[in-house]
Structure 1
Amino acid sequence: MNVVSLPEDPPVILVVDDDPSMRAVIRRFMEKDGYRVVEAVNGEQGLEVYKRLQPHLVLLDALMPVMDGFACCTQLQLIASESIRDAEVFTHIKSLQDASRTPVLMITGLDDQESVDRAFAVGATDYLTKPIHWAVLRQRVRRLLQQSQLYQQLELATRELQRLANLDGLTGVANRRRFDEYLDAEWQRLARENLPLSLILCDIDFFKKYNDTYGHQAGDACLRRVADALSFCARRSVDLVARYGGEEFAVILPDTTVAGASQVAEEIRAVVNTLEIAHAQSAVSHHVTLSLGIACTQPNLNLDPTMLIASADAALYQAKAAGRNTYFPQTCAP
């Protein structure tokens, strides 16, 4: 049976209780077991300490002046909800993930069913009555910390699996599934905010001849280098580079006009040229080149984002017809 071990650094336990003698006893007991203890004298102070230190566990008294434990626990859950939303945007900020599932053990002299039900209703993870049975407290604290750590490990693993599910296995940029999801989400967001959306479709010129000449392993390496170049040029956090299919890539540029997208497209074209990836069978150059089609529109909730893709695809066709190794911009009506 696998056992979840506690972190090597001492877990931080926040004790919120208006009784100084009770806080002192709990502190000594918890510190004896190797935990780091911080104290708060009421719910309001407890919330401030919680937000500042983000403890691993909260031991919370129910009956206190200023703000009781039930109101405090309710506020803790609101803070946790905000942390979860923030963590969805800033997925690499671990402190927000840790704060999202901090267990709360309510310790109180109230032992009636109504108080117990109320404690769990406001978000308490567990409930312990006074006078405290210290052996029970020790085991519950350890169990809650282990469960919290396991939850965080599962959450991080789930996020990593989700991240991998959205990536193209060969190039490391977003895959077609992620492209479709992101385009739809940005279409709706920018429609509400009345902002423009640009899309660049990029195609490696004469890529079939490249594979036929140099082999598929060289072709895979070429795709990776081109993907890296696109990621270098579309550098804003809101920009998305995706492998659209085969040797074709797409770049979603939110809040970007056709002029801004044209600048990005020219930079992409120039950077790929400077890579000087040999392509002896190219009818354009002795090196790998790109053709790019740009489309820009003001999203409309009554329309489908596929019209933007169709427009960019038409622009890409025009870039190829113009001799390749170039880009063609166009604005499509919303």
Structure 2
Amino acid sequence: MNKKLAVIIIDDDDNYRETLSDILSFNDWDIDTASDGYKAINMVRQKQYDVALLDVNMPGIDGVETFKELKKIRPDMIVFMMTANNIDPLKNLLEKGVSTIMQKPFNVEEVVKMISGVRKKAVVLIVDDSEADRSTLSEILSAKGFDVLAASQGLEALETLKTKDVDVVLLDVRLPDMDGVTVLERMKKIKPTLSIIAITGYSLDGIIDTMSKKGVYTCLLKPFDIELLINEINTLVDRKVAESERETDDLLPEILLVEDNDSIRQTMAAILEEQNYNVKAAASLDEALALVDKEYFNLVISDLSLGDASGLSLVEPVRKKDASTIFLLVTGAGSMETALEAIKKDVDEYILKPVEPGELVHKVKTYLEKQKMKKEKEKLVNQLEASNTKLLELVKIDELTTLFNRRYLFEQLHAEMQRAKRQHKSLALMMCDVDGFKIFNDKNGHIEGDRLLKEIAFMLKASVRQFVDQVFRYGGDEFSIVVPEIDLDSAMRLAERVVSKVVDGLKGKGVGISIGVAVYSEREQDMSLNELIHAADKKLYESKRAGGKRATG
């Protein structure tokens, strides 16, 4: 099972950011966006992202500094840098952990390929001395989308576990070099939270209790139900992902305490640290500004009077870095004027000295809880919006190929015909059919047939203009391409290139593609949508009748 890939796009260009997000969303990835480095760093602190697409030139904190901060928080996150300028001055970043540097505008298909290449899969380690069982399980699990490692002995498995990030272990109870219980105990010493499923070809009597007490999730008797095994593995993977997200949620709140009186500062810090908060203390405005520049805080507590400086001078830089940070102002000389100024500066609370420990703890706890609830609400809203977007996509996306589906073809073709009519432009519709698909499918099976259709879908998308031409799966092994603002001669040249690309790309597989081309223009303004489809279908039939692997228009 593939873990859903979490991708964050960081770019101050709204159009570029949103367009890239829309395109990548079609790959069933978890996509978030940030308009500047500060927001991105805060988001990465709260959520585990696998990949970041990071623009270099941004206001505030630039991409290079943002990259450094992101790597401090998530060292294993993969970062692709983007720039509209010369990439040569940035090449030193490749030695510091940047995966690649892309010059705008770039080929989005290539970006999709790169991200797909780093897609995280759940890793399953099979430990079994039977070569036949290892081979069979490896083949089945690989086909289900898992990364599979295998070991024939206990010691080999333990060495693998020390160097590989394994999600689930399938552990045979009887191994040639040591028994399964011993291997289990040693595995748990290496990785105490490791999920292990015990497997055996012998009786389960006496095994289940022993293995369960040692930390095994479940025991399965060979030959076991493969679907049951897959479900058990998926359950363990989902549990690990959920635990990882909870660990992120459970990060201790970060508090900045700014107070120039040493005694008060130390006392307040001790009170807060007793409540399990991470406290950073500053004795001056300059110290506080330096900390705000480098780090992120959930809450700031500052004295109003900091020598010759005012604690209110901190509010703007704190808010600029993270608008959700809570700001509590403390003062020993309260007045209506001071309170009004604090309100104008967007201070959350105005507290008079001497601050009672109980009051301090209560206010900090209350505000942090409100902050957490607000972030959880925002997270739920984002999840709901993502779900709604996904539902809308499912209505128009073909599940197998991720192309647009037949229903959406009718919508888009109607819209493009209306646009062509208004603007006095022409429009081409290509109906495509895979030559020899039935023979290939019968010979190689449905899995390989599906794989072939996905490969052809990718070739078709790569053959036409991004963001202009649209490719659809019409049904079965039939595809459609809508090409705006093109005449018949140009459409035929494009269709012939598509045929050539597909035929060359599928050499040795005994398949090709036939295309029929019909054009809607000012001369055919009375042509209906169905008539246009019928015209393209008729030309497709001519291509098929002539032997296939050609375009007719």
Task: Decide which of 262, 266, 271 is 2:501's aligned counterpart.
Answer: 271
Q: Secondary structure at the match of 2:468?
A: coil
Q: Measured at CA, do residues 30 and 202 of structure 1 come closer, stay the same or move farther in structure 2, by a change above 3 Å? A: same
How far did 1:182 drift? Answer: 1.6
- Tell me which structure has the larger Cα radius of gyration: 2
Indicate whether 1:134 and 2:357 are aligned. Answer: no
Contact 2:315 2:346 in 1 (8 A): no
* CA distance in structure 2 between the aligned counterparts of 1:182 and 1:298, rounded to whole angstroms: 16
- CA distance in structure 2 between the aligned counterparts of 1:131 and 1:253, rounded to whole angstroms: 54
Q: Aligned partners of 1:302, 1:25: CA distance in 2, in Å?
A: 73
Structure 1 residue 326 corresponds to structure 2 residue 550: yes
**Cα RMSD over matched residues?**
3.9
Q: 1:153: Cα distance to partner?
A: 4.0
Displacement after TM superposition at 1:160 (Å): 3.5
Find the aligned partners of 2:346 and 2:444 in 1 and give their Cα distance. 78
* Corresponding residue for residue 69 of structure 1: none
Partner of 1:45: none
Task: Say if 2:315 and 2:347, in contact at 8 Å, map to a contact too.
Answer: no
How far did residue 215 of structure 1 move?
A: 2.1
Classify the secondary structure of the residue corresponding to 2:539: helix
Higher relative contact order (CA 8 A, sep 6+): 1
CA contact (8 A) 2:417 2:520 kept: no
1:36 to 279, 298, 319: 319
Q: What is the count of residue pairs matched by the alignment?
A: 221
* Corresponding residue for residue 104 of structure 2: none
User: Structure 1 pair 306/130, CA: closer, same or farther in 2 (3 Å)?
Assistant: same
- 1:296 offset after TM fit, Å? 0.6
| Other-structure match for 2:403 | 173
The letter of the residue matching 1:324 is: G
> Does structure 1 residue 214 correspond to structure 2 residue 437?
no
C-alpha deviations, 1:284-309, integer Å up to 9, x for none? xxx21111100111277765322211
Q: Once the 2 structures are TM-superposed, how far is the Cα of residue 323 of structure 1 from its aligned partner?
A: 2.3
CA separation of 1:134 and 1:269: change in aligned 2, threshold 3 A: same
Check 1:314–1:141 CA distance in 2 against 1; reply closer, same or farther (3 A cut).
Answer: same
Partner of residue 415 from structure 2, selected from 165, 180, 185: 185
CA shift, 1:224, in A, is 1.6
1:193-246 per-position Cα deviation (integer Å, ceiling 9, x unaligned): 221110111111232222222222222222122112111111331111111011
Relative to structure 1, the CA distance from residue 27 to residue 250 in structure 2 (aligned partners, 3 Å threshold; closer, same or farther) is: farther
SS in 2 for 1:236: coil
Name the counterpart of 2:389: 159
Gaps of 5+ in 2: 1-41, 47-295, 298-309, 325-339, 351-362
Pick aligned residue for 2:540 from 316, 320, 330: 316
Superposition map of 1:83-162 within 5 A: 134=349, 142=371, 147-148=377-378, 150-162=380-392
Q: Which residue of 2 aligns with 1:19?
A: none
Q: For residues 131 and 222 of structure 1, do their structure 2 counterparts lie closer, same or farther at Cα, with a shift above 3 Å needed?
A: closer
Report the Cα distance in structure 2 between the residues aligned to 1:30 and 1:131, rounded to whole angstroms: 9
**Structure 1, 296-305 or 199-208: larger mean CA deviation:** 296-305
Q: Which of 244, 256, 268 is matched with 2:474 structurally?
A: 244
Partner of 1:288: 511
Change in CA separation of 1:37 and 1:305 when aligned onto 2, cut-off 3 Å: same
Measure the CA separation in 2 of the matches of 1:179 and 1:208: 24
Distance (Å, rounded) in 1 between the aligned partners of 2:423 and 2:412? 16
SS at match of 1:37: helix
- Sort the Cα spacing of 1:246 and 1:29 in 2 relative to 1 into closer, same or farther, 3 A: same
Tell me, in whole angstroms, the C-alpha distance in 2 between the residues paired with 1:298 and 1:313.
17
Conserved? CA contact 1:27–1:37, under 8 Å: no
- Matched with 1:305 is 529
Name structure 1 gaps, 5 residues minimum. Answer: 1-5, 12-23, 39-54, 58-108, 110-127, 280-286, 330-334
TM-score by length of 2: 0.35
CA 1:132 to 1:165, structure 2 compared with 1: closer, same or farther past 3 Å? same
* C-alpha separation in 2, matches of 1:243 and 1:129: 58
Check conservation: 2:315, 2:345, Cα contact below 8 A.
Answer: no
Q: Is residue 198 of structure 1 aligned with residue 423 of structure 2?
A: no
Residue 36 of structure 1 aligns with an amino acid whose one-letter code is R
CA change 1:132–1:321 in 2 (3 A) is: closer
TM-score of the superposition, structure 1-length normalised?
0.55
